[in-house]
Amino acid sequence: MRPTVEAAASSNALCAPPNAGSNLLVVFTGSIAAYKGCDVVSRLVQRGHRVRCVATPSALKFIGTVTLEGLAGTPVLSDTYAAGSALEHIHLTRWADAVLVCPATANTLNRLAAGLADDLPGALFLAHDRSKPWLMAPAMNPAMWTHPSTVASVQKLQDWGVRFIAPAEGRMACGEIGEGRLAEPKAIVAATEAALANPVRRLRVLITAGGTVEPVDGVRVLTNTSTGATGAIIADHLSRAGHEVLLLRAKSAVATDSACPEETFVTFSDLEAALRRLLATNSFDVVIHAAAVSDYRVDAVFMDADSPPAPAEKLPSGGTPIIKLRPNPRLVDSLRDWSPAPFTLVAFKLTCGSGPAQSAEAVNRLLAHSGADFVVHNDLAARRADGTFPADIHLRDGALAVHCADRDTLAAELVRLLTSSKPFSHATNP
Ligand SMILES: Cc1cc2nc3c(=O)[nH]c(=O)nc-3n(C[C@H](O)[C@H](O)[C@H](O)COP(=O)(O)O)c2cc1C
């Protein structure tokens, strides 16, 4: 398996220098590709940016401080405890409009993902203001790049909002051929400037999760088997990435690990009322409607076909009660009407043993009537023994964006899609 990162930005973005005059912090780590990092610094300076360089002790075995100072025109920092620069990890993160780790070694990448702060890149990373872009241009041997530790670290860092400039395929200095070569300097500069043009936005996100419960009488209920775990994991991933999440979950559903703010609901009517209120009084950027909403509510219960409706408190035991159900309206279709502000909508579709054609039809139907920007589809037949199942994320035109093997992958991919530099469609109901 290899880390999933988006391809480097097109070099077309280099036609006109946007954000010229930005403050850029370039962190060098100990890769043979450090010489290409020098080219990146040179290009950034030529395009009008102010550049400061940090270099790990390993990086300085490949290039000298004189080279970096000469290119950037500012002193190079390498030691957290250097005299006269004791608080530079705080000052530099405040100063920088964006941070670029180039080249990024496997060692630094894994260390940052572990949250270690015993060197300058680690301290800078933890002190970094996550509303500003942090980019990494990895360079390493293909085996290091595809090692499970690196794959997991890339995933984790992406969850936290770090943007990766995908390494290229080709012949490595070690003679191996594969993916891991530092992207071309031109593409790295383009990706950095693209990130400056699209700083990380802290999204306000509303997530619904868990199943509604419909009372049959004062003690009995009709409900479904939703645990709310998918919504909770998505809430955790978005919270960890620095977004502002409100979880509207079923009272019986699982809570989040991140302890993000939440409200609870029991019945369809509770959920509808909460959604109307929250959407009217907040301007969410994203609504992820993962709740398993009952399609029906109990209209009346009869102890037999000829008797009047039974009392609501508690049905007598015995007999063969008849429960008359009434369809609930589809909440997902009204969400946009209840919000004065536009938002990105993620809707969920569960099918039961559907083939590809039926599934596609169900997804397209939901996209059409809800106006959702993304539909997460899963099928009960693919459910594993532990209750988890894979999911597909579909785009507004029905195309498959990504297949996710499990809930964690789904949550990570949603974070990636929702925070990608592409503008949201803010589609309205058809
Ligand atoms: C000649 C040579 C080339 C290296 N190239 C790379 C590389 O391209 N990528 C990488 O991840 N590590 C590479 N390494 C290993 C790193 O330098 C090593 O893991 C070091 O501890 C990284 O430290 P740093 O991340 O603090 O800079 C190389 C080592 C040597 C001796």
Residue 114, pLDDT > 90, answer yes
Residues 164 and 109 reside in one and the same domain = yes
108 falls within a domain: yes
User: Which runs of E-coded beta strand occur in 172-238?
Assistant: 177-181, 204-209, 214-215, 221-222
Residues 191 and 102 reside in one and the same domain = yes
- Among 155, 177, 197, the domain boundary falls at 197
**Does the beta carbon of 104 sit less than 6 angstroms from any atom of ligand 1?**
no
Q: Are strands 134-138 and 98-104 parallel, antiparallel or unpaired?
A: parallel
Tell me the CA distances in angstroms from 279 to 31, 374, 375, 427, one per residue in order.
Answer: 50, 19, 20, 16
430 falls within a domain: no
Residues 100 and 179 reside in one and the same domain = yes
Ramachandran area for residue 371 (φ above 0: left; ψ -120 to 50: alpha; else beta): left
**Does the beta carbon of 116 sit less than 6 angstroms from any atom of ligand 1?**
no
What is the number of the ligand 1 atom nearest to the C-alpha of 121? 26
Closest residue by Cα to residue 288 from 162, 423, 410: 410
For residue 429, what pLDDT is reported?
A: 30
Residues 91 and 188 reside in one and the same domain = yes
Residues 173 and 223 reside in one and the same domain = no
**Does the beta carbon of 110 sit less than 6 angstroms from any atom of ligand 1?**
no
Share of the chain above pLDDT 70, in %: 92
Residues 272 and 393 reside in one and the same domain = yes
Residues 100 and 234 reside in one and the same domain = no
Residue 211, pLDDT > 80, answer yes
For residue 422, what pLDDT is reported?
A: 42
- What CA–CA distance (Å, rounded) separates 128 from 287? 27
Give pLDDT tens digits for 21-78.
899 999 999 999 999 999 999 999 999 999 999 999 999 999 999 999 999 999 999 9
**Does the beta carbon of 29 sit less than 6 angstroms from any atom of ligand 1?**
yes
Residues 81 and 122 reside in one and the same domain = yes
Question: What is the residue with the minimal CA distance to atom 16 of ligand 1?
Answer: 30
**Does the beta carbon of 121 sit less than 6 angstroms from any atom of ligand 1?**
no
For residue 301, what pLDDT is reported?
A: 87
| More confident of the two residues 137 and 389 | 137
Which of the residue ranges 66-80, 168-182, 187-201, 293-307 has the most confident prediction, judged by mean pLDDT? 66-80
For residue 315, what pLDDT is reported?
A: 79
Question: What is the residue with the minimal CA distance to atom 10 of ligand 1?
Answer: 105
The percent helix, strand, coil of the chain (3-state, each to 5) is 35, 25, 45
**Does the beta carbon of 58 sit less than 6 angstroms from any atom of ligand 1?**
yes
Rg of the chain taking only CA atoms, in angstroms = 26
What confidence category does residue 109 fall into, taking pLDDT thresholds of 50, 70 and 90?
A: very high
237: phi then psi, degrees, rounded to nearest 5? -60, -45
- Over residues 205-213, the mean pLDDT reads 97
Residues 350 and 399 reside in one and the same domain = yes
Give pLDDT tens digits for 244-293.
999 999 999 998 888 889 999 999 999 999 999 999 999 999 999 999 99
311 falls within a domain: no
**What count of other Cβ atoms lies within 10 Å of the Cβ of residue 429?**
14
Q: Scan for tokens 């997902």, then name that residue.
A: 332
CA of 109 to the centre of ligand 1 (A): 11
Q: Which residues are catalytic?
A: 174
Residues 74 and 211 reside in one and the same domain = no
- Secondary structure class of 429 (helix, strand, coil): coil
DSSP 14: G
For residue 13, what pLDDT is reported?
A: 42
CA of 220 to the centre of ligand 1 (A): 64
313 falls within a domain: no
88 falls within a domain: yes
316 falls within a domain: no
- Among 173, 197, 221, the domain boundary falls at 197
Amino acid occupying residue 390: P
Which CATH number do you get for residue 277? 3.40.50.10300
Which CATH number do you get for residue 158? 3.40.50.1950
Residues 68 and 181 reside in one and the same domain = yes
- What CA–CA distance (Å, rounded) separates 91 from 195? 21
Alpha helices in 25-159, H assignment, sequence order: 34-46, 65-72, 88-95, 106-113, 120-127, 142-145, 148-159
413: phi then psi, degrees, rounded to nearest 5? -70, -35
- Secondary structure class of 148 (helix, strand, coil): helix
| Number of residues that this document lists for the chain | 430
209 falls within a domain: yes
Number of structural domains found in the chain: 2
Share of the chain above pLDDT 90, in %: 68
Question: What is the residue range of 273's domain?
Answer: 204-296+330-418
Residues 255 and 178 reside in one and the same domain = no
Residue 234, pLDDT > 60, answer yes
What is the number of the ligand 1 atom nearest to the C-alpha of 108? 25
Is 56 in contact with 111 (CB distance < 8 Å)?
no
36 falls within a domain: yes
Amino acid occupying residue 196: L
Structural element, H or E, at residue 287:
strand 286-289
- Among 140, 172, 197, the domain boundary falls at 197
